[in-house]
Amino acid sequence: MLDVVLKSFDKPDEIRRFEKGKFEVVKIGGLTIGRATYEPGWKWSVHVSPLVGSDFCSVEHVGFVLSGRAAAAFKDGRVTELSPGNLFYIPPEPHDSWVIGDEQYVSLHFLGAEKYTK
């Protein structure tokens, strides 16, 4: 018989920190789930790019926006705004991302968390 497992982002398995943000990781039930928390002014190409050695993020994402707003921008000029309550899919093609406005952005990541910021 399998046991029920309870975990919380209050005690994540891993925290990946970078300027103006963090990415908390919880592993549960064979899944890796992430919580992204970005402060106003955060931008992937400025604050994460130097850590991973790539100009753009190429990780595939499926997630849910809890609070704040962010943009996802692709090399071909497409820009999509992510707002609270949005479920999102970002394809695994080079993209940048940044916080919009003065509110902290928080989202959950159900796909891509194992590779994000690495």
Domain positions in the chain are 14-111
pLDDT on residue 14:
97
Query: How is domain 14-111 classified at the architecture level of CATH?
Result: Sandwich (2.60)
Any bridge partners for residue 64, and if so which? Answer: 87, 108
pLDDT on residue 118:
85
Tokens for 97, please give them: 């991302």
pLDDT on residue 110:
98
Nearest to 64 by CA among 113, 110, 108: 108
pTM of the model: 0.94
Percentage, residues of the chain above pLDDT 90: 97
Tokens for 50, please give them: 């130097």
**What is the rounded distance in angstroms from the CA atom of residue 48 to the CA atom of residue 30?**
26
Q: State in Å, rounded, how far the first CA of the chain is from the last one.
A: 36
Positions of the chain with pLDDT under 50? none
